[in-house]
A and B are shown apart, each in its own frame.
Chain A
């Protein structure tokens, strides 16, 4: 992604906007789908994400492509969370027993990328949201607590349960390890 494309996007050039969209839309769709587990909703989220990107790109200070991607991903995450919040408030059950399950992720990490993606997408919504935010997006529990309006301990507990659920699913489906 060249600096020139961003400059033109700031001038609302349609071609530059399309170039930017084509560069990131697939990844953003994958991200959104991981959160909402629905193709149509994920597509809607891609659209709303890029609308926001185009609206606010004038304020964005382009340093590197990685920085740009992180910015767009963050917008996409926020859009996804907003949709989930509207839908059912994440289906999170407050809990303090964060360390009550085995949180070993080794078998999960050994899955191939497609299986891993599908497995995460098949998690219950509350677990999936916290897992996505913590493991994939790299949010801290504190940030998750703020985003989802839950306590940190609830976030930790949801993550532990998500990991346990992943392990159970691996065992149940006898998924092959290895990339």
Chain B
């Protein structure tokens, strides 16, 4: 109790001195106020910064979005139509209006062997950074004898590059990935006879997987090339030899 009283006594005396003019004589609060005032104003400036920053970011963001959509809509006009043709089929064409942002095009052709080719083209609208059109022919159930062709066409801005064709001959349809024999376009063309022989003669072959990855050019180059680009999966000699058989050829055209 006494100790507490002493503590209070000391506290009161210290606070009394801190309140007294004696301390004021030694230290001028005005200079500190001038410094503080600057800090407060500076803080105000700093405090307003985030607001300005947010506003700037929002404006820039809106501008970027605007530019993006503008160019997006321009570029998307580059591919108005995608034609997928097969030698034994009439020309199928699909206008861009048929689909919205992502076109899903399907065509199915029965082959003489009794199977058929399903072609699915997914057209992704082009953007300035990455112009791409991809067409994928997906696997689907087929009747006997099985002959399944899966084509994938991915078109981007690499100019004048026909790309690769991978021919995957699978021994077993159910497990095609286990026995893949992926051959590049060049190899496929070079060893065409072998492939054909395998395809036709080997009764073990349950499916043929053909993946086509092709590349096209930007619109300007397309214009120069009269907007026509052909992707030939099998060489002409092969086509001539096997007219009765299914041959696939894809022609991707833009306008016109």
Contact = CB atoms under 8 A, between A and B. Distances in A.
Contacts of B11: 135-136, 138
A27 interface: yes
A-B pairs with lowest CB-CB distance, top 3: A30-B18, A113-B17, A113-B13
B20 interface: yes
Interface residues on B, range: 20 to 34
Nearest to A179: B13
Interface residues of A, number: 40
B33 interface: yes
A106 B23 CA distance: 25
A127 interface: no
Interface of B: 3, 6-7, 9-11, 13-20, 22-24, 26-27, 29, 31-33, 35-37, 39-40, 43-44
Given A26-B19, A30-B17, A117-B17, 16 more contacts: A17-B40, A26-B18, A26-B27, A30-B18, A39-B26, A43-B31, A46-B29, A51-B39, A51-B40, A55-B43, A105-B3, A108-B10, A109-B9, A113-B13, A116-B13, A116-B14
A90 interface: no
A47 B27 CA distance: 13
B14 A136 contact: yes
Interface in A35-67: 39, 42-43, 46-47, 50-51, 54-55
A106 B7 CA distance: 9
Interface of A: 12, 14, 17-18, 21-22, 25-27, 29-31, 33-34, 39, 42-43, 46-47, 50-51, 54-55, 103, 105-106, 108-109, 111-114, 116-117, 120, 134-136, 138, 179
Tell me what chain B mostly uses at the interface: helix, strand, loop, or mixed. helix
B43 A105 contact: no
26 contacts: A12-B44, A14-B40, A22-B33, A25-B32, A25-B33, A26-B19, A26-B29, A27-B18, A29-B23, A30-B17, A33-B27, A39-B26, A42-B27, A43-B27, A47-B32, A47-B39, A50-B36, A51-B39, A103-B3, A105-B10, A109-B9, A114-B22, A116-B17, A120-B14, A134-B7, A135-B10
